[in-house]
Amino acid sequence: MTRPLWVPPEISVDQPSVARIYDYNLGGAHNFAVDRAVAEQLNGAMPDLPLVQRANRAFLRRAVTMLVSAGVRQFLDLGSGIPTVGNVHEIAQGSAPESRVMYVDVDNVAIAHSQAILADNPLADAVRCDMREADEVLAHPRIVELIDFTRPVAVLMVAVLHFVSDDDNPAGIIARYRDACVPGSYLVISHASREGADPVEADAATEVGARNTINLSLRGRTEVRDMFDGFDVVEPGIVFTPEWRPDSDTETFATEPSRASTLAGVGRRVQP
Protein backbone atom coordinates (compact mmCIF):
# COMPACT_ATOMS: atom_id res chain seq x y z
CA MET A 1 0.00 0.00 0.00
CA THR A 2 1.04 3.65 -0.39
CA ARG A 3 2.72 4.97 2.75
CA PRO A 4 0.99 8.12 4.08
CA LEU A 5 3.35 11.09 4.35
CA TRP A 6 2.72 11.46 8.09
CA VAL A 7 3.90 7.92 8.91
CA PRO A 8 7.42 7.65 10.41
CA PRO A 9 9.67 5.37 8.31
CA GLU A 10 10.15 2.77 11.05
CA ILE A 11 6.42 1.99 11.31
CA SER A 12 4.89 -0.98 9.47
CA VAL A 13 1.69 -0.15 7.60
CA ASP A 14 0.90 -3.83 7.02
CA GLN A 15 -0.01 -4.95 10.57
CA PRO A 16 -3.26 -3.92 12.27
CA SER A 17 -3.09 -2.00 15.52
CA VAL A 18 -5.65 -1.84 18.31
CA ALA A 19 -4.89 1.87 18.80
CA ARG A 20 -5.47 2.66 15.13
CA ILE A 21 -8.64 0.54 14.90
CA TYR A 22 -9.99 2.49 17.88
CA ASP A 23 -8.96 5.74 16.17
CA TYR A 24 -10.85 4.71 13.02
CA ASN A 25 -14.04 3.90 14.92
CA LEU A 26 -13.85 7.23 16.74
CA GLY A 27 -13.61 9.07 13.41
CA GLY A 28 -9.87 9.74 13.53
CA ALA A 29 -7.53 9.96 10.54
CA HIS A 30 -4.42 8.19 11.83
CA ASN A 31 -5.10 4.66 10.66
CA PHE A 32 -4.08 2.51 7.73
CA ALA A 33 -6.00 0.39 5.22
CA VAL A 34 -5.23 -2.75 7.21
CA ASP A 35 -6.67 -1.15 10.37
CA ARG A 36 -9.82 -0.08 8.55
CA ALA A 37 -10.25 -3.55 7.07
CA VAL A 38 -10.00 -5.26 10.47
CA ALA A 39 -12.24 -2.59 12.03
CA GLU A 40 -14.92 -3.31 9.46
CA GLN A 41 -14.62 -7.04 10.15
CA LEU A 42 -15.01 -6.38 13.87
CA ASN A 43 -17.90 -3.99 13.28
CA GLY A 44 -19.55 -6.59 11.07
CA ALA A 45 -19.28 -9.16 13.85
CA MET A 46 -20.43 -6.69 16.51
CA PRO A 47 -22.39 -3.84 14.90
CA ASP A 48 -22.56 -1.83 18.13
CA LEU A 49 -18.76 -1.68 18.44
CA PRO A 50 -18.26 1.93 17.23
CA LEU A 51 -20.92 3.08 19.70
CA VAL A 52 -19.37 0.94 22.44
CA GLN A 53 -16.07 2.71 21.87
CA ARG A 54 -17.72 6.13 21.88
CA ALA A 55 -19.41 5.30 25.17
CA ASN A 56 -16.02 4.34 26.55
CA ARG A 57 -14.55 7.66 25.40
CA ALA A 58 -17.39 9.51 27.13
CA PHE A 59 -16.65 7.60 30.34
CA LEU A 60 -13.01 8.71 30.12
CA ARG A 61 -14.12 12.33 29.85
CA ARG A 62 -16.40 12.09 32.87
CA ALA A 63 -13.81 10.25 34.97
CA VAL A 64 -11.05 12.78 34.26
CA THR A 65 -13.44 15.64 34.98
CA MET A 66 -14.31 14.07 38.34
CA LEU A 67 -10.64 13.54 39.19
CA VAL A 68 -9.78 17.16 38.44
CA SER A 69 -12.66 18.21 40.69
CA ALA A 70 -11.20 15.95 43.39
CA GLY A 71 -7.89 17.82 43.18
CA VAL A 72 -5.86 15.39 41.08
CA ARG A 73 -3.27 17.13 38.92
CA GLN A 74 -1.19 14.19 37.65
CA PHE A 75 -2.35 11.58 35.14
CA LEU A 76 -0.57 8.46 33.89
CA ASP A 77 -2.56 7.16 30.91
CA LEU A 78 -1.52 3.56 30.12
CA GLY A 79 -2.44 2.15 26.73
CA SER A 80 -3.43 5.68 25.76
CA GLY A 81 -3.81 5.09 22.02
CA ILE A 82 -3.99 7.89 19.47
CA PRO A 83 -5.07 11.23 20.99
CA THR A 84 -8.26 11.91 19.10
CA VAL A 85 -10.49 14.76 20.28
CA GLY A 86 -11.33 14.63 23.98
CA ASN A 87 -8.04 13.26 25.23
CA VAL A 88 -6.85 13.45 28.82
CA HIS A 89 -4.65 16.54 28.64
CA GLU A 90 -7.38 18.54 26.88
CA ILE A 91 -9.91 17.65 29.56
CA ALA A 92 -7.61 18.05 32.57
CA GLN A 93 -5.72 21.14 31.46
CA GLY A 94 -8.92 22.75 30.24
CA SER A 95 -10.05 22.98 33.88
CA ALA A 96 -6.67 22.93 35.65
CA PRO A 97 -3.87 24.19 33.36
CA GLU A 98 -1.19 23.00 35.81
CA SER A 99 -2.20 19.35 35.29
CA ARG A 100 0.57 16.99 34.17
CA VAL A 101 -0.27 14.18 31.76
CA MET A 102 1.92 11.31 30.61
CA TYR A 103 0.68 9.04 27.83
CA VAL A 104 2.11 5.51 27.48
CA ASP A 105 1.46 3.20 24.56
CA VAL A 106 3.26 0.42 22.71
CA ASP A 107 2.06 1.62 19.28
CA ASN A 108 4.59 3.75 17.41
CA VAL A 109 1.93 5.72 15.52
CA ALA A 110 0.12 6.59 18.74
CA ILE A 111 3.34 7.89 20.30
CA ALA A 112 4.60 9.71 17.20
CA HIS A 113 1.29 11.52 16.77
CA SER A 114 0.98 12.25 20.49
CA GLN A 115 4.46 13.75 20.61
CA ALA A 116 3.69 15.95 17.62
CA ILE A 117 0.50 17.24 19.26
CA LEU A 118 2.26 17.81 22.59
CA ALA A 119 5.44 19.42 21.24
CA ASP A 120 4.51 22.82 22.68
CA ASN A 121 2.99 21.47 25.89
CA PRO A 122 5.65 21.27 28.63
CA LEU A 123 3.26 19.53 31.05
CA ALA A 124 2.26 16.63 28.81
CA ASP A 125 4.24 14.04 26.89
CA ALA A 126 4.09 10.53 25.45
CA VAL A 127 6.53 7.62 25.61
CA ARG A 128 6.60 4.24 23.94
CA CYS A 129 6.50 1.47 26.54
CA ASP A 130 4.56 -1.72 27.12
CA MET A 131 2.29 -1.03 30.09
CA ARG A 132 2.70 -4.67 31.14
CA GLU A 133 6.33 -3.85 31.95
CA ALA A 134 5.46 -1.74 34.96
CA ASP A 135 9.01 -1.43 36.30
CA GLU A 136 10.21 -0.13 32.94
CA VAL A 137 7.36 2.36 32.75
CA LEU A 138 7.83 3.63 36.29
CA ALA A 139 11.58 4.07 35.77
CA HIS A 140 11.32 5.82 32.40
CA PRO A 141 13.32 9.09 32.65
CA ARG A 142 10.61 11.25 31.10
CA ILE A 143 7.90 9.79 33.34
CA VAL A 144 10.08 10.28 36.42
CA GLU A 145 10.69 13.87 35.28
CA LEU A 146 7.04 14.73 34.73
CA ILE A 147 5.18 12.68 37.35
CA ASP A 148 5.89 13.04 41.07
CA PHE A 149 4.87 9.77 42.71
CA THR A 150 5.18 11.30 46.19
CA ARG A 151 1.94 13.13 45.34
CA PRO A 152 -1.41 11.67 44.22
CA VAL A 153 -1.53 10.32 40.68
CA ALA A 154 -4.44 9.06 38.61
CA VAL A 155 -3.47 5.85 36.81
CA LEU A 156 -5.73 5.31 33.82
CA MET A 157 -6.20 1.83 32.34
CA VAL A 158 -9.06 2.59 30.00
CA ALA A 159 -10.00 -0.05 27.42
CA VAL A 160 -6.63 -1.77 27.70
CA LEU A 161 -6.78 -4.59 30.24
CA HIS A 162 -8.92 -6.82 28.02
CA PHE A 163 -5.81 -7.07 25.81
CA VAL A 164 -3.83 -8.42 28.78
CA SER A 165 -4.13 -12.18 29.11
CA ASP A 166 -4.43 -14.06 32.39
CA ASP A 167 -0.95 -15.44 31.67
CA ASP A 168 0.40 -11.88 31.87
CA ASN A 169 -1.07 -11.54 35.37
CA PRO A 170 -3.12 -8.33 35.10
CA ALA A 171 -3.64 -8.24 38.88
CA GLY A 172 0.12 -8.26 39.40
CA ILE A 173 0.60 -5.49 36.83
CA ILE A 174 -2.02 -3.30 38.51
CA ALA A 175 -0.52 -4.00 41.94
CA ARG A 176 2.89 -2.74 40.78
CA TYR A 177 1.40 0.60 39.73
CA ARG A 178 -0.73 0.71 42.88
CA ASP A 179 2.32 0.23 45.09
CA ALA A 180 4.07 3.13 43.35
CA CYS A 181 1.19 5.47 44.27
CA VAL A 182 0.58 7.27 47.54
CA PRO A 183 -2.80 7.21 49.31
CA GLY A 184 -5.16 9.64 47.66
CA SER A 185 -4.16 8.42 44.20
CA TYR A 186 -6.78 6.94 41.88
CA LEU A 187 -7.17 4.02 39.49
CA VAL A 188 -9.52 4.25 36.51
CA ILE A 189 -10.48 1.08 34.61
CA SER A 190 -12.82 0.26 31.78
CA HIS A 191 -12.91 -3.31 30.55
CA ALA A 192 -14.73 -5.14 27.75
CA SER A 193 -17.06 -7.80 29.10
CA ARG A 194 -19.43 -10.52 28.01
CA GLU A 195 -21.95 -9.02 30.42
CA GLY A 196 -24.51 -7.22 28.32
CA ALA A 197 -23.00 -8.45 25.06
CA ASP A 198 -24.80 -10.70 22.62
CA PRO A 199 -22.89 -13.99 23.09
CA VAL A 200 -22.88 -14.78 19.38
CA GLU A 201 -21.53 -11.32 18.54
CA ALA A 202 -18.94 -11.49 21.33
CA ASP A 203 -17.70 -14.86 20.07
CA ALA A 204 -17.57 -13.59 16.48
CA ALA A 205 -15.66 -10.43 17.42
CA THR A 206 -13.22 -12.43 19.55
CA GLU A 207 -12.63 -14.78 16.62
CA VAL A 208 -12.00 -11.88 14.21
CA GLY A 209 -9.54 -10.40 16.67
CA ALA A 210 -7.68 -13.69 17.11
CA ARG A 211 -7.34 -14.09 13.34
CA ASN A 212 -5.64 -10.70 13.29
CA THR A 213 -3.35 -11.26 16.29
CA ILE A 214 -5.63 -9.22 18.55
CA ASN A 215 -6.43 -11.42 21.54
CA LEU A 216 -9.23 -10.45 23.89
CA SER A 217 -9.81 -11.53 27.49
CA LEU A 218 -13.41 -10.59 28.28
CA ARG A 219 -13.97 -10.48 32.05
CA GLY A 220 -16.97 -10.15 34.33
CA ARG A 221 -17.96 -7.75 37.07
CA THR A 222 -16.36 -9.74 39.88
CA GLU A 223 -13.05 -9.98 38.03
CA VAL A 224 -13.05 -6.24 37.29
CA ARG A 225 -13.93 -5.46 40.90
CA ASP A 226 -10.99 -7.57 42.07
CA MET A 227 -8.65 -5.40 40.00
CA PHE A 228 -9.27 -2.61 42.52
CA ASP A 229 -7.55 -4.42 45.38
CA GLY A 230 -6.06 -1.73 47.60
CA PHE A 231 -8.50 0.91 46.34
CA ASP A 232 -11.87 2.07 47.62
CA VAL A 233 -14.21 1.99 44.63
CA VAL A 234 -16.13 5.25 44.47
CA GLU A 235 -19.84 5.51 43.68
CA PRO A 236 -21.56 4.16 41.66
CA GLY A 237 -19.20 1.17 41.81
CA ILE A 238 -18.48 -1.19 38.92
CA VAL A 239 -21.11 -0.45 36.28
CA PHE A 240 -21.51 -0.26 32.52
CA THR A 241 -19.79 2.81 31.09
CA PRO A 242 -22.99 4.81 30.42
CA GLU A 243 -24.04 4.30 34.05
CA TRP A 244 -20.88 5.82 35.51
CA ARG A 245 -21.96 9.31 36.64
CA PRO A 246 -23.76 10.28 33.41
CA ASP A 247 -24.05 14.02 32.93
CA SER A 248 -26.79 13.80 30.32
CA ASP A 249 -29.72 11.57 29.46
CA THR A 250 -28.46 11.66 25.86
CA GLU A 251 -25.32 9.61 26.60
CA THR A 252 -24.73 6.74 24.19
CA PHE A 253 -26.80 3.75 25.37
CA ALA A 254 -28.33 5.89 28.12
CA THR A 255 -31.53 3.84 28.10
CA GLU A 256 -29.82 0.49 27.43
CA PRO A 257 -26.49 0.73 29.28
CA SER A 258 -25.78 -3.00 29.07
CA ARG A 259 -25.36 -2.64 25.30
CA ALA A 260 -22.06 -0.87 26.04
CA SER A 261 -20.65 -4.29 27.01
CA THR A 262 -17.94 -2.45 28.94
CA LEU A 263 -17.59 -2.32 32.72
CA ALA A 264 -16.00 0.67 34.38
CA GLY A 265 -15.00 1.97 37.77
CA VAL A 266 -12.81 4.42 39.64
CA GLY A 267 -11.01 3.62 42.89
CA ARG A 268 -9.17 5.76 45.44
CA ARG A 269 -5.91 4.43 46.91
CA VAL A 270 -6.24 3.66 50.60
CA GLN A 271 -3.57 3.48 53.25
CA PRO A 272 -1.52 0.29 52.71
Q: How far apart are CA 149 and CA 185, in angstroms?
A: 9
pLDDT tens, position by position, 138-164: 999 999 999 999 999 999 999 999 999
The pTM for the full model equals 0.92
Q: How far apart are CA 12 and CA 270, in angstroms?
A: 43
Domains of the chain, start order: 18-269 (3.40.50.150)
pLDDT tens, position by position, 95-152: 999 999 999 999 888 888 888 889 899 999 999 999 999 999 999 999 999 999 999 9
Residue 33: in which H helix or E strand, if any?
A: helix 33-45
* 241: three-class secondary structure by DSSP: helix
Residue 84: in which H helix or E strand, if any?
A: none
- Per-residue pLDDT tens digits of the chain, which is 272 residues long: 455 555 566 566 678 888 889 889 888 888 888 999 999 999 999 999 999 999 999 999 999 999 999 999 999 999 998 877 779 999 999 999 999 999 999 988 888 888 888 989 999 999 999 999 999 999 999 999 999 999 999 999 999 999 999 999 999 999 999 999 999 999 999 999 999 888 898 899 999 988 988 888 999 999 999 999 999 999 999 999 999 999 888 888 999 999 999 999 999 999 87
Say which residues have a Cβ less than 8 Å from residue 39's Cβ, sequence separation at least 6. 21, 24, 25, 31
